[in-house]
Copies of this chain bind each other. A is one copy, B any other.
Amino acid sequence: MKGLSASSSKGDDRETGIEDVESLREKSVLLSGAVLDNRLASVGETKTDSHRAKAKWKLKSVVTLALTVLTSSQAILIVWSKRAGKYEYSVTTANFLVETLKCAISLVALARIWKKEGVTEDNQLSTTLDEVIVYPIPAALYLVKNLLQYYIFAYVDAPGYQILKNLNIISTGVLYRIILKKRLSEIQWAAFILLTAGCTTAQLNSNASEEVGSSAHSLESSQDYSIDLGVMALLSGFAGVYTEAIIKKRPSRNINVQNFWLYIFGMGFNAIAILVQDFDAVMNKGFLHGYSPITVLMIFNHALSGIAVSMVMKYADNIVKVYSTSVAMLLTAVVSVYLFGFHLSLAFFLGTTVVSVAIYLHSAGKMQR
């Protein structure tokens, strides 16, 4: 179970996956998004700016919605898997398969584009050292973060971890400002602080799910690890913002090529993680030991939401990603009421209110800028 928790938390940063039927629909949305982007890039100059802005806005909305839905279904899947029983598989092999699946999906999408529009400079797979040299960095950051997380989980319980993970929100905002040099208005900073406070409030003493519940007690027990958690929040925020910087550096480059290179290095670093963490288990019990149908579902879910995160980085930004995953967290709790008969606490309603106001202020702050 510890394995699944770790996997789920990890998923929150590389966001990924969903159920079978849903996944196919989402997949086609994502792929058509990629096609639309390609079309936009190639036709570009002949279109009016307003038409272009509208298409971009539509694309941004679609990928954001996809990310929200995928992230919520991911958390629901975790609750479901917990209910169904415990699975003793290696998290590292699952992560490796997620990266492999993402690579494969990127290649399939590319193949479709090549068939339709031919190989161009923007969608060719071959690359220069100059382009590819930065791609291992986010993969390495995620690896360090995941290993650190594994260590922290030995001391902090899952609910306490979930609450402290909200520090990512603030670190993402700060790094977004520093690294990408994009300004947030004062109102938008206020909204960001509210988002952090609102998400944490919604997770207080929640009976809604074991993932999103916590207590002051679990926080106290984790105070000694606040440096580790701070480092993790920074690492995870840095990885997100860095990925956005890499993807945005070449706006005309096809997202599927960019994803392919990201995920290739992801595979490499996760292979290292298997050697470090689960070498004995894999050798003795096999690569796929402890896998169940639900594990496979979760791998698909993680892969798809990982792609959705990339899309959001390309067409929107890390700020949108943070809002999207926060809304997903709230959605999960609401859906869990119907699916699992969970109970929503007063804290959840208060947190949801604060998060809603934060979303309003974020857009109000944008207009003001």
Give A residues with C-beta under 8 Å from B. 163, 186-187, 190, 193-194, 197-198, 200-201, 204-205, 216, 219, 345-347, 350-351, 353-354, 357, 360-361, 364, 368
- Report Cα–Cα, A368/B190, bound state, in Å: 15
Q: What are 30 A-B pairs with beta-carbon distances under 8 A?
A: A163-B346, A187-B187, A187-B361, A190-B357, A190-B360, A190-B361, A190-B364, A193-B357, A194-B357, A197-B350, A197-B353, A197-B354, A197-B357, A198-B354, A200-B346, A200-B350, A201-B201, A201-B347, A201-B350, A201-B351, A201-B354, A204-B205, A205-B205, A205-B216, A216-B345, A216-B346, A216-B347, A219-B346, A347-B347, A368-B368
Shortest beta-carbon distance from A169 to chain B in Å: 13
- Report Cα–Cα, A346/B218, bound state, in Å: 11
Q: A204-B346, A346-B219 are in contact. Are A364 and B187 (CB under 8 A)?
A: yes
- Report Cα–Cα, A187/B200, bound state, in Å: 23
Shortest beta-carbon distance from A166 to chain B in Å: 10
- Report Cα–Cα, A218/B328, bound state, in Å: 29
- Report Cα–Cα, A163/B345, bound state, in Å: 14
Residues of B within 8 A of A368 (CB): 368
Shortest beta-carbon distance from A170 to chain B in Å: 11
- Report Cα–Cα, A368/B197, bound state, in Å: 25
Shortest beta-carbon distance from A219 to chain B in Å: 6
Residues of B within 8 A of A360 (CB): 190
Shortest beta-carbon distance from A188 to chain B in Å: 11
Residues of B within 8 A of A187 (CB): 187, 361, 364
- Report Cα–Cα, A219/B343, bound state, in Å: 14
- Report Cα–Cα, A186/B193, bound state, in Å: 19
- Report Cα–Cα, A194/B187, bound state, in Å: 14
- Report Cα–Cα, A187/B366, bound state, in Å: 13
Shortest beta-carbon distance from A65 to chain B in Å: 24
Shortest beta-carbon distance from A355 to chain B in Å: 10
Cβ–Cβ contact A204 & B357, under 8 A? no
Least CB separation from A343: chain B residue: B216
Residues of B within 8 A of A201 (CB): 201, 347, 350-351, 354
Least CB separation from A348: chain B residue: B216
By CB atoms of chain B within 10 A, which of A194, A197, A205, A219 has the most? A197
- Report Cα–Cα, A368/B361, bound state, in Å: 13
Residues of B within 8 A of A346 (CB): 163, 200, 204, 216, 219
Cβ–Cβ contact A193 & B347, under 8 A? no
Shortest beta-carbon distance from A230 to chain B in Å: 17
Residues of B within 8 A of A198 (CB): 354
Least CB separation from A368: chain B residue: B368
Least CB separation from A356: chain B residue: B193
Least CB separation from A204: chain B residue: B347
- Report Cα–Cα, A364/B187, bound state, in Å: 8
Residues of B within 8 A of A200 (CB): 346, 350
Residues of B within 8 A of A205 (CB): 204-205, 216
Shortest beta-carbon distance from A53 to chain B in Å: 25
Residues of B within 8 A of A351 (CB): 201
Least CB separation from A365: chain B residue: B187
- Report Cα–Cα, A205/B186, bound state, in Å: 32
- Report Cα–Cα, A194/B353, bound state, in Å: 8
Q: Which 4 A-B pairs have the closest CB atoms?
A: A197-B353, A216-B346, A197-B350, A201-B350
Residues of B within 8 A of A357 (CB): 190, 193-194, 197
Inter-chain pairs besides A187-B361, A201-B201, A347-B347, 20 sampled, C-beta below 8 Å: A163-B346, A186-B364, A187-B187, A187-B364, A190-B360, A190-B364, A193-B357, A194-B354, A197-B350, A197-B357, A198-B354, A200-B346, A201-B347, A201-B350, A201-B351, A204-B350, A205-B216, A216-B345, A216-B347, A219-B346
